[in-house]
Amino acid sequence: MKLVMSIVQSDDAGRLVEALTQAGFRATTISTTGGFLRQGNATIFVGTEDEQVPHVLTLIREHCHARRQYVNPLPPVMEPGEVYMAAPVDVQVGGATVFVLDVLQFEQC
């Protein structure tokens, strides 16, 4: 058995969970925050049989899309009188970041 842990953009999470559930998978979503952009994203856990992992990955690819985001970098430390013009930085946020982990034991008590 595997645990598929996917970090996805919040806008894609609802449709992905719906597709997973309709395909018969069990899923759990938690609200998470990216360390770089400090913006909300979602982490979806799917515990499933090894042979079903490709199907889960297909659904993730179908429902998660890369987007560009423009972020303002933090201003540097300045001396009095200095002027800093912030130039937004273009960041490509991926469709999904996926980790597939081996499950040692699965129980529903």
**What is the C-alpha to C-alpha distance for residues 41 and 33, in angstroms, rounded to an integer?**
5
Stretch that binds ligand 2BA, among 25-33, 51-59, 78-86 (CB under 6 A): 25-33
Stretch that binds ligand 2BA, among 29-37, 57-65, 72-80 (CB under 6 A): 29-37
Q: What kind and span of H or E run contains 8?
A: strand 2-9
Among 6, 12, 13, 47, binds ligand 2BA (CB under 6 A): 47
Does 72 engage in binding with ligand 2BA (CB under 6 A)? no
Among 10, 11, 14, 21, binds ligand 2BA (CB under 6 A): 21
Give the C-alpha distances (Å, rounded to integers) separating 87 from 70, 72, 73.
9, 7, 8
Q: Decide whether 79 or 94 has the Cβ nearer to ligand 2BA.
A: 94
Q: Is 32 exposed, middle or buried (0-12, 13-18, 19+ CB in 10 A)?
A: middle
Task: Tally helices (H) and strands (E) across the chain.
Answer: 2, 6
Would you tell me which residues interact with ligand 2BA (CB under 6 A)?
7, 21, 24-28, 34-37, 41, 45-47, 91-94, 97, 108
